[in-house]
Structure 1
Amino acid sequence: MESCETILKSGLDALGIGWTETQIGRLLAFLKLIEKWNKAYNLTAIRHREDMVRLHLLDSLAVLSHVKGRRVVDIGTGAGLPGIPLAIFLPEVRFTLLDSNAKKTRFVQQAVLELKLGNVEVRHSRVEAFHPEQKFDTVITRAFAALPAIIETTAHLLGEQGVLLAMKGQNPRDELAEVKVKSSVIALATPGVEAERCVVIIQKDAISVG
């Protein structure tokens, strides 16, 4: 069986993402932390390391080229996905990782400390109650909620030129029809994952906020 490192490097190459050994080391260290904390904190139902590399690390990084600006918030970050992998590859970008589950934010805070990620802050809060002084260039969600709920609860976090990235499985046509906002749906090809993946991209100026 391929090693996690081999799967990770070949997957990043397939995605066209340049990497350093330091970045690979941090990703693998992050994986070990998830494994270590998983039993007590129920971070993920995925148990095999190789599957975690594909379904967590590479899947998170498949959206890398769509992240814009210098301030990013990951809503419903859970175990730190996709926020931590993205932060490892975008060290010049400030990431806020938000989740309402205290156990999960404790884990993510520990991971940030152990991985020495100086560009990440962790916030324990419901998204509706989170009102930062400065808005964000990119709001990203992964398996968080249906699109109508995502737009309703996150629109207040977007800056004037901000963009919402909603990572999904299959093309959410019914959800898009319900929200009736201008959007782009881009297929994401996660190496080693046969299931459909896509990202719905919605610009702030397409969202009318009451």
Structure 2
Amino acid sequence: MTEQSLRDDPLHGSDAVREYFGDVYPRVLAFAEMLAEQGVDRGLIGPREVTRLWERHILNSAALMPFIGEGRVADVGSGAGLPGLVLAAMDPDRDYVLVEPMERRTQWLFEAARACGIENVSVVRGRAEEVTESVEVEVVTARAVAAIDKLVKWCSPLLVPDGRMVLLKGRSAADELERAKYTLRKQRFVGEVHRAGTVPGVEATTVVVLTRA
């Protein structure tokens, strides 16, 4: 049933998606198929998400890639591996740390990385504020974890002094930035909102980039 649902996704196997991912497509495809097969039963995605997996989850995560910059990446609250495993599959020459507090989800991340041939990841169990002694990176990513002001408080200790945060957000991103302005000022961050496209016909993704002032 889940397999049929994935085939019902109009982007599954499309030429546009293959061209967008290029040489890394096989790893991304393997992850998408594994998430579609196991994600609902393991509480990672809802049953209605499978038929729009590529647009809503895979391409949405991939849209962060142009904003990552250089250095190691920590994906905070990695959950199903979105965006962390997608980015790592696309970017095999960079180290990714997947930070996730729930044991069953860390197990999934281990299994998915191994099964899909995504070898450039490590998984750390814990909340961002609990792993500051073991994780130090140039970039933090997050998707659907918390409001910007909370993310800055929790995640800035994971960053090197000139590190950046690259966040997947919704259409209210500008309002979130405004509400977080005092926290951003205290931590010396400047925020920018971007609209990032992926393949034709798919709505652009809202990306917030926080850099040190």
What letter corresponds to residue 99 of structure 1 in structure 2? E
- Once the two structures are superposed, the pairs formed by residues 1-210 of structure 1 within 5 Å of their partners are 2=10, 4-6=12-14, 9-11=15-17, 13=19, 17=20, 19-20=22-23, 23-45=24-46, 47=48, 49-133=50-134, 135-180=136-181, 181=184, 182-191=190-199, 192-194=201-203, 197-203=205-211, 205-206=212-213
| CA shift for structure 1 position 39 | 3.5
How far is 1:150 from its partner?
A: 0.6
Equivalent residues of 1:5, 1:24 under 8 A apart: no
> What residue ranges of structure 1 are gaps of 5+ in the alignment?
none
Partner of 2:5: none
User: What SS is found at the alignment partner of 1:183?
Assistant: strand
* 1: CA distance, partners of 2:99 / 2:30: 21
CA RMSD of aligned residues (A): 2.0
Q: Deviations over 1:31-88 (max 9, x none)?
A: 2211232243110115454410111111111111111223000011110011111111
Scaled by the length of structure 1, the TM-score of the pair is 0.85
Instruction: Give me the whole-angstrom Cα distance separating, in 1, the residues matched to 2:148 and 2:47.
Output: 25
* 1:136 counterpart letter in structure 2: V
How high is the sequence identity, in percent, across the aligned residues?
Answer: 27
1:72–1:138 Cα contact (<8 Å) kept: yes
Seen in structure 2, the aligned counterparts of structure 1 residues 200 and 39 have a Cα distance that, compared at 3 Å, is: closer
Cα distance in 1, alignment partners of residues 88 and 149 from structure 2: 27
Q: Greater CA deviation, 178-187 or 154-163?
A: 178-187
Give the ranges of 4+ consecutive aligned residues of structure 1 lying more than 3 Å apart after TM superposition. 46-50, 190-194
SS at 2:39 equivalent: helix
Q: Distance in 2 between matches of 1:31 and 1:11?
A: 12
Alignment check: 8 A CA contact 1:99 1:126 kept: yes
Structure 2 Cα separation of the partners of residues 147 and 123 of structure 1: 22
Contact 1:187 1:199 in 2 (8 A): yes
Aligned partners of 2:78 and 2:100 also within 8 Å: yes
Distance of 2:129 and 2:11 partners within structure 1: 41
- Cα distance change on mapping 1:12 and 1:70 into 2, 3 Å: farther
Measure the CA separation in 1 of the matches of 2:26 and 2:18.
14
Q: Which letter maps to 1:41?
A: R
* Structure 1 partner of 2:4: none
Number of residue-to-residue matches in the alignment:
197
Q: Which runs of 5+ in 2 are unaligned?
A: 1-7, 185-189
- The answer to whether the 8 A contact 1:55-1:193 is kept is no
Contact kept? 2:97, 2:122, Cα under 8 Å: yes
